[in-house]
Amino acid sequence: MLTNWFENVNMEEMWIATYETLYMTVISVIGTLVLGIILGLLLFLTERGNLWQNHFLNMVTASAVNVFRAIPFIILILLLFPFTDFLMGTIRGPKAALPALIIGAAPFYARLVEIAFKEVDKGVIEAAKSMGAKTHTIIFKVLLPESMPALISGITVTAIALISYTAMAGVIGAGGLGDLAYMKGFQRRDFDVVFACTIFIVIIVFIFQFIGDTLSRKLDKR
Amino acid sequence: MITIKGLSKIFKTNQQEVKAVDDVSINIEKGEIFGVIGYSGAGKSTFIRLINRLEEPSSGDVVINDTNITSLSVGKLRKERQKIGMIFQHFNLLWSRTVFENIAFPLEIAGIPKAERRTKVLELIELVGLKGRENSYPSQLSGGQKQRVGIARSLANDPDVLLCDEATSALDPETTDDILDLLVSINKKLNLTIIMITHEMHVIQKICHRVAVMDQGRVVEQGDVLSVFVKPQSKTAKRFVQQLSPLEHQQDELKRFITNDPNREVVKLHFIGNDAKRALISDVLRKFDIEINILQGSISPTQEGAYGTLYVELSGNKALITETIDYIQSSGVEVEVIENVN
């Protein structure tokens, strides 16, 4: 009966697209995690009264973050074409979507990281200082572990946004489930393909959400 | 051992300058428990942060064991801070670490190898009475237990001095006493110098040897706890002492005993130090043919001896009463005759 409902769905194509979506999501989540934490740290530490208090650097970082957050993702991909071409040597396929995905999501995650760091008890940072801790000790042994549950739930939210970005990137030929839904589904009026892609994407989102929630809960000893 | 000279901290806002700490000079001996008491806003928390430069002083010097803390470079200051332990009102433990890992944290900072860390941490856990809780997280502990972890953590690098910033203010009275007992036993066992900031006179009375009273950034009075207790000079000190002797508030109750009858007299006796342990009343009764009616009394133990107040009514021959009072006074107990104020 299922084959009747989904008569135009080619399972082999579905699996390839799913693989491409997962590839784009996983790599861009890792990239966003690294870039977002670096930006978030910079935002937090250069703020007034914090360890690297620096008004100029704070302003520059904050402006860059705000500008990139303001650009709609679909336009960001187009804007980044020359950069992507230079970096990846191609503007097609899952690999070519990565720079835009990371640059689009990292500023958003950076703000979540900044908020997570702000939630860390100032007294604990002061206690570490009173023990003679260096800045890198405070970052790696206080700030990061103490904000870990918030960093994890933040990256979960970002990862889910990234899954929807990958679908959008599909429209300009990045591959993945979004591409499949658009090219093979929408263009040919085979809506069963669109529907099947939707189900797959929803399942991927649920899996990411589940992993994120579990990890965040496990790490939270408060 | 610790010399603080002319220490000041000025906070500048757009509109005005606030002198949070104003020209404070204090000498603290090795092995001493030194209390600093003041109401909130008196500048005592800022003062204790100036000692390890969590706040940068505006002027003045802090010298610990011949090291001038105020002139150290950032790198040297970090090294020196390892020798200055600190505990906090809200404990400031890392929730992501177990009791064991929290206590190991300052040792990690000091670069102590893992095996050595383990021995030291277990030793400290034993010292503060937390055996069996090594693997608990702070959220699973009571307030008192959290402060024990804080104390163990502050002692990890064998500090020369321990700074206590309102260390008992978030605890209930019973737990406060437990923590104070622990601090006294550590002070004795390790001959550790302790500087204690508080707004509770009870804390000063129970564990401190000497005390400084702060008001509006200045030290308005300092000296031995007992002498500040018995003869407070400043207004602030007097208010703090009153906190502890509820009798001061109950003088009204005594009124009905105070008469114009010359054969009856209400007197207040001050016992200081070892006098408080003497059986003065039975001594007097044996010597004089007089009646003594005990009205009210209280006794407060301090680190330097006890200090007590007793209100009694003496009745008998007027001459005999005068003689009795002279006798009591000659035995070293201060006597104050309470007159009817109206």
Q: Is B192 found in the same domain as B94?
A: yes
Q: Does A215 touch chain B (CB under 8 A)?
A: no
B110 chain-A contacts, CB cut-off 8 A = 132
**Same domain assignment for residues B290 and B207:** no
Which residue do the tokens 């801070």 mark? B81
Residue A132 with chain B: CB contacts under 8 Å: 77-82, 106, 109-110
| % chain B with pLDDT above 90 | 60
- Could you give the angle at the alpha carbon of B330 between the alpha carbons of B326 and B331, nearest 5°? 120
Q: Which residues in chain A show pLDDT less than 50?
A: none
Answer whether A133 sits within 8 Å of B94, measured CB to CB: no
Of the residues A52, A121, A131, the best mutation for testing chain B's interface (the one with the most B CB atoms within 10 Å of its CB) is A131
Q: Are B51 and B84 in contact (CB under 8 A)?
A: yes
Instruction: Reply yes or no on whether the pLDDT at B341 is more than 60.
Output: no
Report the distance separating Cα B240 and Cα B230, nearest Å.
12
Taking the C-alpha atoms of residue B48 and residue B37, their distance in angstroms, rounded to an integer, is 11
> Does residue B239 sit in the same domain as residue B269?
no
Binned at pLDDT 50, 70 and 90, residue B274 comes out as: low
Residues of chain B contacting A52 with CB distance shorter than 8 Å: none
Q: How distant is the Cα of B234 from the closest Cα of chain A, in angstroms?
A: 33
Claim to verify: residue B218 and residue B278 sit in the same structural domain: no
CATH code (residue B304) = 3.30.70.260
The CATH number of residue B57's host domain is 3.40.50.300
Is residue B182 located within the same domain as residue B327? no
Does residue B210 sit in the same domain as residue B277? no
What's the mean pLDDT in B35-54?
Answer: 93
Contact A103, A39 (CB under 8 A): no
CB contact under 8 A, A124 and B92: yes
For the cut 90, the answer to whether the pLDDT of residue B27 exceeds it is yes
Q: Does B179 share its domain with B60?
A: yes
* B252 and B240 fall within a common domain: no
| Residue bearing the bigger pLDDT, A116 or B293 | A116
Residue type, A10: N
Token readout for A37 is: 């934490």
Task: Enumerate chain B positions whose Cβ falls within 8 A of a Cβ in A.
Answer: 52, 54, 77-82, 84, 86, 88, 90, 92-97, 105-106, 108-110, 137-139, 153, 157, 163
Whether residues B144 and B236 share a domain: the answer is yes
Whether residues B313 and B200 share a domain: the answer is no
User: Are B137 and A221 a contacting pair at CB < 8 A?
Assistant: yes
Residue pair B9/B50 in contact by the 8 Å Cβ criterion: yes
Q: Pick the residue from chain A with its C-alpha nearest to B90.
A: A123
Going by pLDDT thresholds of 50, 70 and 90, the confidence category of residue B316 is confident
Q: Which domain holds residue B293?
A: 248-338
Last residue of a domain, one of B244, B270, B289: B244
- For A146, nearest residue in chain B (alpha carbons): B96
Q: Give a three-class secondary structure readout of chain B.
A: CEEEEEEEEEEECCCCEEEEEEEEEEEECCCCEEEEECCCCCCHHHHHHHHCCCCCCCEEEEEECCEEHHHCCHHHHHHHHCCEEEECCCCCCCCCCCHHHHHHHHHHHCCCCHHHHHHHHHHHHHHCCCCCCCCCCHHHCCHHHHHHHHHHHHHCCCCCEEEEECCCCCCCHHHHHHHHHHHHHHHHHHCCEEEEEECCHHHHHHHCCEEEEEECCEEEEEEEHHHHHHCCCCHHHHHHHHHHCHHHHHHHHHHHHCCCCCCEEEEEEEEEHHHHHCCHHHHHHHHCCCEEEEEEEEEEEECCEEEEEEEEEEECCHHHHHHHHHHHHHCCCEEEEECCCC
- Lowest-confidence range among A128-142, B91-105, B129-143, B314-328? B314-328
> Looking at residue B342, what is its pLDDT?
43
B217, B244, B271 - which closes a domain: B244
Q: How far apart are CA A67 and CA A76, in angstroms?
A: 11
A145 contact B CB<8A = yes
Residue B191 confidence (pLDDT) = 94
**Looking at the predicted structure, is the pLDDT value of residue B242 above 70?**
yes
Task: Among B186, B213, B244, give the residue marking a domain's end.
Answer: B244
Which residue in chain A has the smallest CA separation from B158?
A131
Query: In chain B, what residues touch A137 (CB-CB under 8 Å)?
Result: 108-109
Contact: A221, B86; criterion CB under 8 Å = no
Give the domains, in start order, of chain A with CATH numbers. 11-219 (1.10.3720.10)
- Whether B97 sits inside 8 A of A126 (CB atoms) is no
Pair B255, B239 in one domain:
no
Please tell me the total count of domains within chain B: 2
Q: What does the pLDDT read at residue B303? A: 77
Contact residues on chain A for B108, CB-CB shorter than 8 A: 137, 141
Same domain? For B295 and B179 the reply is no
- ipTM for this prediction: 0.86
